[in-house]
Amino acid sequence: MVTKQRNWGVDRARLFAMFCVVLIHNNLQGGALKFDLLSFQSLIFALIENCGIIAVNLFAIISGYLMCDSRVNLSKAISLWVEAIIWSGFVGVLLYLNGSLGKMELLKSFFPVSNGFYWYLNAYFLMLPLLPILNAGLSKIDRRDIANLSMLLCLMGSLASFPGWSNGTRIEAGYSTIWLVVLYMGMRPKLWRR
């Protein structure tokens, strides 16, 4: 039986990315990231945001590295979806009981993925069915073709969007299924071998 060894560098990068995500979300919700760059404090907040914003790309790269040539685990994806529904619904009920949320918003909180509350989850779910096709196709083309395809996808994602699917499909501030695919393609071992 072959056992996988733990890659501590990947684990450290994942922990750093998690810390950055928490930092950015706390600063955003606290209003700190609504800065005007007119004070030293605002410059510090801008520096924190610019250092922390890489977390999303880091998560995508780590996912691409860990998922490279692996099979799609549908049960794990479904459990992630259910988890999002439970947490979103739980917070929605608390906010409704607190009087901070109306009935319509409460109802929407039980459909977080379809309402675009979690853009990364949306982008990830749109990418999952593409993985078997990507793995099969990318194993048959060379490094230059992968690089050209990545550039084409970046251009497509920047210029095009799919009607009604703008959350998760178009590169909006760098966040989309297309961008996850580009980062996934960049983690191909074929690109890094000489």
Residues 103-118: pLDDT tens digits?
888 888 888 877 766 7
Using CA atoms in the order 181, 83, 31, 13, what is the torsion angle rounded to 10 degrees? -50
Answer yes or no: are the C-beta atoms of 49 and 27 closer than 8 Å: yes
List residues bridging with 172 in a β-sheet.
175
- What does the pLDDT average to over 166-183? 64
What's the confidence (pLDDT) of residue 168? 47
Separation CA 44–CA 28 (nearest Å) = 14
In what helix (H) or strand (E) does residue 105 lie, and over which residues does it extend?
helix 103-109
pLDDT tens by residue, 7-44: 788 889 888 988 888 888 777 666 666 667 677 877 77
- Return the number of other C-beta atoms located less than 10 Å from residue 107's C-beta: 14
- Is residue 157 very low, low, confident or very high in pLDDT (cuts 50, 70, 90)? low
CA distances from 100 to 58, 87, 184 (A): 34, 17, 39
